Amino acid sequence: MTSFATRCLALAGLVTLSAPVLAAPLPSADAAGSQLVEAVTCKRHLTPAQFATLVKVLKPTELQAYDQLSDGDYALTTPLVVLGQPVNRLYLHDGDNGEDGIDSYTAYFSTAGIDQIAALAKIPRNEADDYTLENGGVKFPVLAITLDLDDTLWPFAPIGARIDQVLFDWMREHSPATAAMYPVAAMRELRERSFRDNPHLHFDLSALRRLTIQEALESSGASLDLLEPAYEVFYAARNQVECYPDALDALARIAARVPVAALSNGNADLERIGLAHHFSFQLGAREHGAAKPEASIFHAACDRLGVAPAQVLHVGDHVEMDVAGAMAAGLRGCWINREAATWNHPQLQPDLQFDTLTGLADWLDANLDAADADESRST
């Protein structure tokens, strides 16, 4: 892949590269950042020693190498601004291996879209695709995927609102005293209190929901014979999901490529929902006895898949529960960032980031097709 520095020559006006001596003492963080920006836009050439000096100032995180493919790959805690857009990943290309012997630096944009990068850098769209955080030329083996459910395949907020209303309507018909004592807001407050008071059950949302309903019935003088019927009303509503527009097609494409296991802290039932056929199995926090981000639940899923953690990609929306938890357990991490949120983990960067599952399906197609082609050439 041609470096972004090379691609910026048109933008920079064929600026003559020079290697100015860095002033002593160490430059400020602002100056160090400015010099790196000049390097990736071809206004400055940095020697390896100069780059090492800037690294001391900016203290980026060197990303984990896989078969040395990521050697020299850095995550920047404080993004640089290149071409007016934030960059939070930088790759050092060793000039000794290049045509001109000059080190260069590829910037991977954290939020700019492909079309925006192409316009700014005056390069073709298919080349701009290499400089997004979403792809960034990243390739690593994926033999299986673990997939979060709530807010990854479908939004949970409308489900939660419907659950509250359906349960209230049922109580109003079958236990008016309970409905009067616990309208929607009061029942929600009771549920939150049950969660706070029972930390030992945080991995079992079904048990916590039953406790909430039980307390509501008892405190309103209603019969506990209503507990299981009320829970079933809740659970039926909980499994009425509306997937994101991209999710079903992307899920089918992903599942056709590699085994997929559902890995969730929630209590959705894929059989009831009608999506179980896309998954090798479903592992919930309740069944396992511990919730994400505990490493044990990720490892249990890998064991059932029969795949080493380093070759499993966990996909989810939550920075801590999904991505950071998976990566700490030795899996690869993919952040589904549908809300264009800012990545805020101080020590980690996701291996992949997409705003839809379609982006992941596209990446997986390209990654596995390239691996198949490499294998064909080697045989």
Domain architecture of the chain: domains with CATH: 4-131 (no CATH), 144-153+241-378 (3.40.50.1000), 157-238 (1.20.120.1600)
pLDDT band at residue 15 using 50, 70 and 90 as cut-offs: very low
Q: With beta carbons less than 8 A apart as the criterion, state whether 146 and 314 touch.
A: yes
pLDDT band at residue 163 using 50, 70 and 90 as cut-offs: very high
User: Is a pLDDT exceeding 60 seen at residue 22?
Assistant: no
Q: 154 forms bridges with which residues in the sheet?
A: 150
Q: 321 forms bridges with which residues in the sheet?
A: none
Q: What is the CA radius of gyration of the chain?
A: 25
pLDDT digits over 231-246, tens only? 999 999 999 999 999 9
Say how many C-beta atoms besides its own lie within 10 A of residue 368's C-beta: 16
> Is the pTM value of this prediction over 0.85?
no
pLDDT digits over 70-81, tens only? 456 677 766 677
Which residue pairs, CB below 8 angstroms and at least 24 apart, start in 122-127?
122/10, 122/11, 123/7, 123/10, 127/2, 127/7
In the predicted model, what is the mean pLDDT of residues 165-172? 96
pLDDT band at residue 130 using 50, 70 and 90 as cut-offs: low
